[in-house]
Each structure stands twice: as structure tokens, then as C-alpha cells.
């Protein structure tokens, strides 16, 4: 830990988004670092509200910028002179990528390219010790691997087989990052995470969508038969894993960060089982009998609101991550059991109705996205 006292500045792109803002909080509260520079375009899912309560803070600087703006990224790196750049910036929702793939290619692929180019030039101007210390960490997803059958796990050696425009744009970015490491010697690290959940997640994603719809007495949409399996990771555990990779990971390597069902012997959850678990927790934390939005509907349990809807086009059936490399090399595994993490997440959404209203206002009404018309 003494080595951490020598850190100065890092750049966190996408730092006003869900995972990025949680990472900023994690860093400021736990790591003795001089400055965190948040770069965010502030699109529908990136909000100042996610980090507003952290200001004023001499250790935190916010820059509104598009990572696909190459000249601006060059200027930023040379002005800030960070020892690391962590790229969280991305369009992330599969349903939106079906409706508008172009914006995903621009943010996820072109944006990553511009960051790599800026970082390559910046690092070339550093001293030998500065070049050795610099790191470019790219945060990616397990969706680049495609879908699994009923058995097996995604490892770092799994062949890429993306099935959505979102996954394809992230896969392309991963390949660019790896290529810059091989071709130009840029000290790159790639992390591929499973489905995150926790505070500040935009309500288009499954868990906050179910929580907010339930609290408002609205139908709880379950795609298809609800038997799709996802590997769930609490966002705080993810942030801890990313720091572990940044400080101890080997440049040029990729690391899968997931719920690690294989290591922890946890049972995998289908989407339907997850929704039912959320409903059961809500029954205890915010009973339907005390929910004014449900009084006229005579709902005894939030499970009564579950509604099956047409499946997503190209919906991957199962994701599961093998976290052996993270555990063996970096001694990391998730610390939060899913039930307690879900309860903490539900409490956060119950306690922050103002945040929920503000981030959705005029942008999103929790309508269904990603349907082929």
C-alpha cells in the first residue's frame, strides 16, 4: 500500500456514467491519489447528478468532452499528464444498439481509437520512467464472447463471437486496444466484466427497471421465457477488481471480472429468478400494502406484476465468467453476496426518488426499446 502514496493524476473517461461514477467514488474514498479527472460527454446515461455530491473537491475535476474528439483528447492528456487512463466511456444498452447502432460504433470503437492515439503520442513524450509507469486500462464486457450453452464458462481465451451491435462495437474496441499494445508497445490492460448492478444505474437496465416499475405499480417485463442466465456483479466489487488490475495486472493481458459462480459455488440465476428475488425483497422492504400505487390493484406481492413480453432479437441465452485468472494472479474475488447487494441496491433506489426523476426527465419513460419494427 505504501506505493500508492506516489500516485498523482488519473483520467476516468465515462466517469459520470454508472460504473465510472462508482469507480470515482471508490477511488476518492479509498485510494490516496492526488487528482481524478472525470471526462464525460453527458449523454442520456451520463449525468452530473451521479457525481454532483462529490463537489467541491480539490482532488476531483470534471471535463465535459466527447472521447471521439481526437484533438481535445490530445490536449487533455498533455495538460493533465496522468499516469493512467481508464476508459469506461461507452454506449452500453443492447436494446438501444438495435435501434441506433451508429452511435455505438462512434462512441465505443471510434472513441477508443482516439483515446489510444492520444495516449500513444502522450506516452512517447514521457521520460523513460514515465513511459514504464503509464497504463491504459480499457473496461469491456463479457458480451463480446457471445452466448454459452448450458455448460462452460467464459475465460480470457474464449473466442469472440458478438451477437449485437453493442457487443460487436465493444469487441472491435478490445481488438484495437490489444493491437496498440502489440504494435506500439502501449502498456494496455483489458477487463471484461459481467452484468453490473448497484446505485446510480440508469433505469433502462433490468434491475433498476424492475425496482422502479414495481414501486410505481407498473408491469415488470420479462423477455421471452425468462430463462436467460446472466452472471451478476455488484458494482463496488467491480471497482475493486479494476483497481487490482490497474495496480497489479500485467500489461498486454486481459482479465475477466465477474460474479465468479464457478469459484464461489453460487447457483446461477435466470432472469425470471432474479426478478422474483427482487419482488420478494421488495415485499419485505416496501410491502405492497403500504405502497399507494398498488392499493387499488389489490396486489399482494410484487410477483403479481410480472409480465412476459416478446424476446429481444438475438438475445444471448447464457453468460458465465471463469474468474480463475483474477483469483490466481491478483487474489481477487467478489465480496458481496447477491442477495445482500440486491437489498442494498433496492434501498438506494427507494431512498433516491429525486435522482430517478431527474435522470429520466424528458429522455426516457421506461418504454420498450430494441424491437425490430
Would you name the residues annotated as active-site residues? 142-143, 166
Instruction: Record the cell numbers describing residue 277, joined without a space.
Output: 428475488
What pairing do the DSSP bridges indicate for beta strands 35-40 and 60-64? parallel
List b or e across 152-168, with b for residues whose CB sees 16 or more CB atoms inside 10 angstroms.
Answer: ebbebebeeebbbbbbb
Distance CA(250)–CA(326), nearest Å, equals 11
* Surface-to-core class of residue 328, CB atoms within 10 Å of its CB (0-12 exposed, 13-18 middle, 19+ buried): exposed
Cβ atoms of 341 and 277 within 8 Å: the answer is no
Gap between the Cα atoms of 8 and 29, Å rounded: 15
CA dist 221 to 38, 127, 204, 328, Å?
34, 55, 12, 39
First to last CA, the chain: 54
CA 253 to chain centre: 20
CA dihedral 364, 366, 367, 369 (to 10 degrees): 80
Residue 362 phi/psi, 5-degree rounding, is 70, 5
Distances 202 to 18, 44, 250 between C-alpha atoms, Å = 7, 9, 32
- Enter the DSSP assignment of 362: T
Amino acid at each position: 500500500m505504501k506505493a500508492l502514496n506516489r500516485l498523482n493524476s488519473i483520467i476516468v473517461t465515462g466517469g459520470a456514467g454508472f460504473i465510472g461514477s462508482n469507480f470515482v467514488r471508490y477511488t476518492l474514498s479509498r485510494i490516496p491519489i492526488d487528482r481524478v479527472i472525470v471526462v464525460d460527454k453527458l449523454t442520456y446515461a451520463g449525468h452530473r447528478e451521479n457525481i454532483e455530491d462529490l463537489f467541491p473537491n480539490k482532488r476531483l475535476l470534471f471535463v465535459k468532452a466527447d472521447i471521439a474528439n481526437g484533438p481535445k483528447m490530445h490536449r487533455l492528456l498533455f495538460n493533465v499528464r496522468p499516469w493512467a487512463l481508464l476508459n469506461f466511456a461507452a454506449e452500453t444498452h443492447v436494446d438501444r444498439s438495435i435501434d441506433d447502432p451508429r452511435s455505438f460504433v462512434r462512441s465505443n470503437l471510434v472513441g477508443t481509437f482516439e483515446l489510444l492515439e492520444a495516449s500513444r503520442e502522450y506516452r512517447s513524450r514521457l521520460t523513460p520512467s514515465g513511459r514504464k509507469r503509464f497504463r491504459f486500462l480499457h473496461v469491456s464486457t463479457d458480451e463480446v464472447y457471445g452466448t454459452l450453452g448450458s455448460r462452460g464458462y467464459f475465460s480470457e481465451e474464449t473466442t469472440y463471437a458478438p451477437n449485437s451491435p453493442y457487443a460487436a462495437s465493444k469487441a472491435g474496441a478490445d481488438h484495437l486496444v490489444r493491437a496498440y499494445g502489440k504494435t506500439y508497445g502501449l502498456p494496455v490492460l483489458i477487463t471484461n466484466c459481467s452484468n453490473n448492478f448497484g446505485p446510480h444505474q440508469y433505469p433502462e437496465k433490468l434491475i433498476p427497471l424492475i425496482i422502479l416499475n414495481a414501486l410505481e405499480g407498473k408491469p415488470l417485463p420479462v423477455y421471452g421465457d425468462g430463462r436467460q442466465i446472466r452472471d451478476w456483479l455488484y458494482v463496488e466489487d467491480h471497482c475493486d477488481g479494476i483497481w487490482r488490475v490497474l495496480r497489479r495486472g500485467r500489461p498486454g493481458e486481459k482479465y475477466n471480472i465477474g460474479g465468479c459462480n464457478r469459484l464461489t459455488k453460487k447457483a446461477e440465476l435466470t432472469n425470471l429468478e432474479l426478478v422474483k428475488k427482487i419482488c420478494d425483497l421488495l415485499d419485505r422492504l416496501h410491502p405492497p400494502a403500504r405502497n399507494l400505487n398498488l392499493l387499488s390493484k389489490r396486489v399482494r406481492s410484487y410477483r403479481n406484476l410480472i409480465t412476459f413480453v416478446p424476446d429481444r432479437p438475438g438475445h444471448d441465452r447464457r453468460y458465465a465468467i471463469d474468474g480463475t485468472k483474477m483469483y490466481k494472479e491478483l487474489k481477487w474475488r467478489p465480496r458481496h453476496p447477491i442477495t445482500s447487494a440486491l437489498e442494498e441496491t433496492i434501498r438506494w433506489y427507494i431512498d433516491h426518488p429525486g435522482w430517478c426523476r431527474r435522470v429520466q426527465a424528458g429522455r426516457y419513460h421506461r418504454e420498450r426499446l430494441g424491437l425490430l419494427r
